Chain A
Amino acid sequence: MAELSIKNVTKRFGETEVLKGVSLDIADGEFVSLVGPSGCGKSTLLRIIAGLEEQNSGDIRIGGTSVAGQRAADRNLSMVFQSYALYPHLSVGENIAVPLRMRRMSGLQRLPLLGGLMPGARAMARAIGHDVHRAAEMLEIRHLLDRKPGQLSGGQRQRVALGRALVREPAAFLLDEPLSNLDAKLRVQTRAEIAQLHRRLETTFVYVTHDQVEAMTMSDRIAVMMGGRILQCAAPDVIYEDPDRIEVAEFIGSPKINILPLEVGDDGRLSLLDHALNLAVIDGTRGVASLGLRPETLRLTRGKSPLRGRVVHSENLGAEIFVQIEVAGLAERVTLRAGPEKRNTLALGTSVALDFDIDKALVFDADGARLRKLRHVTRATAEVA
């Protein structure tokens, strides 16, 4: 068990800069997800932590000591791969035993036939067998120990890969999209199991995924990566409700957040589709900005509203419906989340007006950075202005 510390790590593959100075501190026992679109450098960062790839600059510390130049094998980390990467010629039990055999046994003791005759080899093999059984029991795969990976289902292989990772009690677990090859139902189930495993082992987990749902449901903290940088690293609810940048707001949340164009007036007052809002910036930002509205912050209204449009598509998920509304003056459709009781009022083609809670609106400047310093403008002052 150990904390991980990543300082200003950069990585180039030829001309392309994959990581542009990434820093991240992970506490002992924490579950941190690295999430981002494909090609954002999250897997590369994980491989650098593992020691499978070497950074061009920057430092990695595990438990306070720098691991620069250390081989992957010497870092005492375990990794679970997307493809499971089980040894196809070994049985499940032998697969799980490999990391223990490589670490505890000498080269002579590992020899195929003579190894068993070496002094101490028998006792060692028994101890390893005991540990393998314990790991298998924890993951409920004891009945599979004699099978070959080729005879297992995807979910079973996933468990074996987890077993191989946890059998030697590493300082931290690195998981590289471990659920991507499972079907949807199994993914949900395994997701919960990995989270439980983390609670039980109380070890540091670093989890790479492109699936924001996995990141949201399992992590203590989420690091959202894009273009080789960590844009924001915070608890899931903070990432969702209080994103630092527009990219983070857009990446996290399904369906996607609605981004509407804003005008910042000379006095700092914000207006949406030529309709002044009760909100103004206090710093010097002028010109264009963006307004982020989660689908659940929108609600139907009968009153005055700048957002008026027609229902063009709706998705019924049973417990809720997502309605896409074409708003006049907006290039993109606005998504509204509504309860199933609204189904009848939201038939295709219906004209609707949308209202939103100004306190839950997220304002971003033209560069995509969040504008947190806003002041409320009362209607009276607005009219005076």
Chain B
Amino acid sequence: MTRDWWKHLILIIGVIIVIAPFYMMVSYSFKSPGEIDRGEGGFFGQQELMVAPRCVALRTPGRDDIAAASSRFAGASDAEIRDALVAEAEADCSIRPVVFNYTQAFTEAPLLRYLLNGVIVTASIFLIQVVVALPAAYALAKLRFWGRDAVFGLVLFCLLIPVHAIALPLYIMLAKLGLTNTYAALVVPWTVSVFGIFLMRQFFLTVPDDLIDAARMDGMGEFAIVWRVMLPTAIPALLAFAIFSVVAHWNDYFWPRIVVTGNRDLFTPPLGLREFKGDGDGSFFGPMMATATVIVTPLIVAFLLAQKRFIEGITLNGMK
């Protein structure tokens, strides 16, 4: 053991604290409701066949069913036929808990639609944020104009305003424009990212002025410089910004909950989790956690990929 063992200990404790909720989420998404309630079954659960309660409820035999089935069960009384039918239904509805949870996640709510909405909303937000932030950051970092420092001061000031403080005025404005329950309501308020402007400005400050002057000598206008010179050199910074932006808006529950009222076609993935909140007829933690797992998976995959590019972007730097 090295002398630094205590550092590792602290890091390990930190990792456990961060990982624990994910562990619970993934574990619950594998288990049967009984195992979740009783807190048993380890990580994967026993995966014993369970009976899907709603499936059985849907097949509760009525008088017509019993009459129709009487030919199959010759000589049996109605009560016996009914029991036999229930047993059949239970056999048909028997299912492994993991399969149950994940099929429920995709069938109880239009999860694919929600995921698509999430992609549309986060991608639109990020693209428009880049379109706005890059020229703004370039001007703030590299152009000399009257009032530049004041404008940058405003950018810094805007960083201090919490979203929730201006949520209500924003909602009222969107409502007056008749934009609630549209994609625009989900996207427009986030298109100007002061954080993005700030981050990209700080990065552009490190780009040598000579490079911009060379581009000017080569015949580029200022917008051409932004898109043809600054954008390609800023890929690592853009990836860092993308992680912040996409994670924040993919996971956002607050804002979609405010501006999307009722129209389930516009639900983003976090709103989809609401489908499984237990209303009187028991809890649906299994399917709910399966949904949560499905929702976070794209983010984790994207992050792992971006992280690799991110490091490459920093090390393969041709500016030296």
Identify the A interface with B (CB < 8 A): 47, 50-52, 71-73, 77-79, 81-90, 98-99, 102-103, 148-150, 164
The residue of chain A having its C-beta at the shortest distance from the C-beta of B235 within the complex is A89
A179 CB, nearest partner CB in chain B, Å: 15
A73 near B219 with CB under 8 A, answer yes
User: Does chain A have a CB within 8 A of B191?
Assistant: no
Q: Name the CB-closest residue of A to B316.
A: A150
A78 neighbours in B (Cβ, 8 Å): 217
Task: Identify the closest chain B residue to A53 (Cβ).
Answer: B213
**Nearest residue, chain A, Cβ from B211:** A85
The reply to whether the CB of B257 lies closer than 8 angstroms to some CB of chain A is no
Q: What is the CB-to-nearest-CB distance from B206 to chain A, in angstroms, rounded to a whole number?
A: 12
A164 and B218 form a contact (CB under 8 A): yes
In the complex with contacts A81-B210, A81-B213, A148-B318, A88-B233 CB distance below 8 A: yes
In the complex, which residue of chain A has the Cβ closest to the Cβ of B217? A79
Whether a CB of chain A sits under 8 angstroms from the CB of B19 is no
A73 and B318 in contact (CB under 8 A), knowing A83-B208, A87-B211, A87-B232?
A: no
Q: Are B219 and A99 in contact (CB under 8 A)?
A: yes
Q: List 8 A-B contacts (CB under 8 A).
A: A50-B213, A52-B217, A81-B213, A81-B214, A99-B218, A102-B218, A150-B320, A164-B218
CB distance from A132 to the nearest CB of B (A): 13
B263, CB-defined interface residue at 8 Å? no
Complex contact B214–A85 (CB within 8 A): yes
B residues within 8 A CB of A86?
Answer: 214, 318
* Contact pick for A72, options B208, B210, B216, B316, CB 8 Å: B216
B229 to chain A: which residues have CB within 8 Å?
87
Interface 0/1 of B43-69, CB less than 8 Å to A: 000000000000000000000000000
A-side contacts of B224, CB under 8 Å? 102
Cβ of B79 under 8 Å from chain A = no
**Residue B218 contacts which of A73, A83, A148, A149 (CB distance < 8 angstroms)?**
A73
Chain B residue contacts of A51, Cβ below 8 A: 216
Residues of B within 8 A of A (CB): 208, 210-211, 213-221, 224, 229, 232-233, 316-320
Residue of A with least CB distance to B207: A88
Residue of B nearest to A149 (CB): B318
**Cβ-defined contact, A150 with B218, below 8 A:** no
CA distance A84 to B229 in the complex (A): 15
Contact of B317 with A79 in the complex, beta carbons under 8 Å? no
| Chain A residues in 8 Å Cβ range of B210 | 81-85
Q: How far is the CA of A102 from the CA of B218 in the complex (A)?
A: 7
Question: Which B residues touch A83, using CB under 8 A?
Answer: 208, 210-211
> Is the Cβ of A52 less than 8 Å from the Cβ of B318?
no
Bound complex: CA A47 to CA B218 (Å): 14
Complex Cα–Cα for A313 and B319 (A): 43
Chain B residue at minimal CB-CB distance from A97:
B218
Q: Is A52's CB under 8 angstroms from B216's CB?
A: yes
Query: Contact between A89 and B219 (Cβ–Cβ < 8 Å)?
Result: no
Closest chain-B Cβ to A94's Cβ sits at a distance in Å of: 11
B318 touches A89 (CB 8 A): yes
Query: A173: shortest Cβ distance to chain B, in Å?
Result: 11
Bound complex: CA of A98 vs CA of B219, how far in Å?
Answer: 9
Give, as a whole number of angstroms, the nearest-CB distance from B215 to chain A: 8
* Docked pose: A102 CA to B215 CA in angstroms: 10
Q: Pick the contact of B208 from A85, A89, A148, A164 — CB < 8 Å?
A: A85
CB-CB under 8 A from A88, the residues of chain B are 232-233, 317-319
Known contacts A83-B208, A85-B211, A87-B211; decide if A77 and B316 are in contact (CB<8 Å): no
Closest to B213 in A: A52
Contacts of A89 in B (CB 8 A): 232-233, 318
- Residues in chain B near residue A150, CB distance under 8 A: 316-318, 320
Q: Which residues of A contact B208 (CB under 8 A)?
A: 83, 85
Bound form: Cα–Cα A78–B218 in Å? 8
Taking CB as reference atom, which chain B residue is nearest A103?
Answer: B219
Given A73-B220, A99-B219; A79-B233 close (CB under 8 Å):
no
* The 9 nearest A-B residue pairs measured at CB: A88-B318, A150-B318, A102-B219, A89-B232, A85-B214, A85-B210, A73-B219, A81-B210, A99-B218
- A112 to chain B minimum Cβ distance, whole angstroms, is 10
Alpha-carbon distance between A78 and B318 when the two chains are bound, in angstroms? 22
CB of A114, distance to nearest CB on chain B (Å): 15
> Shortest CB–CB separation between residue A46 and chain B, in angstroms?
11
A235 vs B210: C-alpha distance when bound (angstroms)? 30
- Is A73's CB under 8 angstroms from B213's CB? no
Residues of A within 8 Å of B316, CB to CB, are 150
User: Which of B211, B213, B218 has the most chain A CB atoms inside 10 A of its CB?
Assistant: B218
Q: Collect the chain B residues with CB atoms within 8 Å of residue A72's CB.
A: 213, 216-217
Give, as a whole number of angstroms, the nearest-CB distance from B214 to chain A: 4
Distance A167 CA – B316 CA, assembled complex (angstroms): 28
Which residues of B have CB within 8 Å of A102?
A: 218-220, 224
How many Å lie between the Cα of A142 and that of B222 in the bound state? 31
Q: In the complex, A102 Cα to B217 Cα: how many Å?
A: 10
Interface centre among B215, B233, B318, by most chain A C-beta atoms within 10 angstroms, is B318
- Contact partners of A148 in chain B: CB under 8 A: 318
Tell me the nearest residue of chain A to B231, going by C-beta: A89
- What is the bound-complex CA distance between A150 and B215, given in angstroms? 18
The interface residues of chain B lying within 8 Å CB-to-CB of A71 are: 216
A90 partner residues in chain B, CB cutoff 8 A: 232
A104: nearest residue on chain B (CB-CB)? B219
Alpha-carbon distance A164/B221, docked complex (angstroms): 18
A103 to B220, CA, bound (A): 9
A-B contact sample (5 more), CB < 8 A, given A81-B213, A103-B219: A83-B208, A88-B319, A89-B318, A99-B218, A150-B318
